[in-house]
């Protein structure tokens, strides 16, 4: 059965939703704030996410943006007490698949989950490309190969993971903290220094195509530009 990540700071509602979905056969992990939700997401493998919008430490919109950096395809449903149209629009802009206003019935939530999972499962086979086109480069992620004009550069695991993250967010900034947590597991000082070394290596590999640039974005992180 599908695995669901529920991030809801209201302990009563969170427990109620978790127990209901578990009873319906879904494996459901629950977090109580945005930071904890991101940790769960990076450590797990989820088929669908349910995020409350108003949460401590990190709101649902910010959490969704960070999740989308690492996985553009996982379905996201927002739960919110707000009913303003602007909030719904913002939710869809950051990649929501659905938006439910509290209070809601469990049956309605279940039907929406089932509908979204049916759509997403039809796209499973094509949702994650094996090869990324980066300018005149072809990046074969499963085999860790970066090819240019017939010449292949074998990448290390960390180089491949970092380049994949940047390629998934082509022309979009990727924060240093998020990249560190996704590739190294935490954003400690020593891992940050290590990542800088890997960024330098990737720049060296990519310099064969002048149209491809891996640039620093002040106050944010990095951006792979084509």
Print pLDDT tens along the chain (226 aa). 789 999 999 999 999 999 999 999 999 999 999 999 999 998 888 999 999 999 988 999 999 989 988 777 789 999 987 666 666 677 777 777 888 888 889 998 998 898 888 877 655 544 566 789 999 999 998 888 999 998 999 988 889 989 999 998 899 898 888 888 888 877 788 888 888 889 999 999 999 999 999 999 887 889 999 9
Encoding tokens for residue 105? Answer: 């019935």
Q: Tell me whether the omega of the peptide bond preceding residue 103 falls within 30 degrees of 0, making it cis.
A: yes
The predicted pLDDT at position 81 comes to: 78
d(CA 66, CA 72): 10
Kindly calculate the radius of gyration of the chain based on its CA atoms and give it in whole angstroms.
19
Tell me what pLDDT residue 85 has.
60
Cα 109 from chain centroid?
Answer: 22
Written as six digits, the tokens of 135 are 């300018």
Q: What are phi and psi of 173, to 5 degrees?
A: -70, 140
Task: Give residue 166's Cα distance to chain centre.
Answer: 12
Q: Kind of pairing, strands 213-217 and 151-154? A: unpaired
Q: What is the pLDDT of residue 200?
A: 93
Sheet with 151-154, side-by-side order of all strands:
131-134, 137-140, 145-148, 151-154
Q: What is the pLDDT of residue 125?
A: 47
How far is 224 from 226, CA to CA, in rounded Å? 7
Strands 137-140 and 131-134, sheet pairing = antiparallel
Residue 178: alpha-carbon gap to chain centroid = 10
Torsion angle, CA of 23/25/29/32, rounded to 10 degrees?
A: -40
Between the alpha carbon of residue 140 and those of residues 5, 159, 183, the distances in Å are: 30, 12, 17
């Amino acid at each position: 059965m599908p695995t669901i990540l529920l991030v809801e700071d209201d302990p009563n509602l969170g427990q109620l939703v978790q127990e209901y979905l578990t009873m319906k056969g879904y494996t459901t992990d629950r977090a109580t704030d945005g930071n904890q939700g991101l940790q769960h997401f990076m450590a797990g493998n989820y088929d669908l996410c349910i995020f409350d919008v108003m949460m401590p430490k990190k709101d649902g919109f910010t959490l969704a943006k960070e999740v989308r950096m690492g996985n553009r395809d996982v379905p996201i449903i927002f739960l919110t007490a707000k009913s303003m149209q602007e909030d719904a629009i913002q939710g869809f802009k950051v990649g929501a698949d659905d938006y439910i206003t509290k209070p809601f019935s469990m049956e309605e939530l279940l039907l929406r989950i089932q509908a979204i999972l049916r759509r997403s499962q039809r796209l499973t086979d094509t949702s994650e490309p094996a090869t990324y086109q980066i300018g005149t480069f072809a990046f074969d992620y499963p085999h860790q190969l970066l090819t240019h004009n017939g010449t292949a550069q074998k990448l290390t695991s960390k180089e491949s993971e970092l380049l994949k993250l940047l390629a998934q967010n082509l022309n979009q900034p990727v924060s240093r903290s998020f990249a560190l947590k996704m590739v190294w597991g935490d954003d400690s000082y020593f891992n940050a220094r290590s990542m800088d070394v890997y960024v330098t290596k990737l720049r060296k590999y990519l310099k064969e195509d002048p149209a491809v640039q891996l640039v620093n974005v002040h106050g944010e992180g990095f951006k792979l530009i084509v």
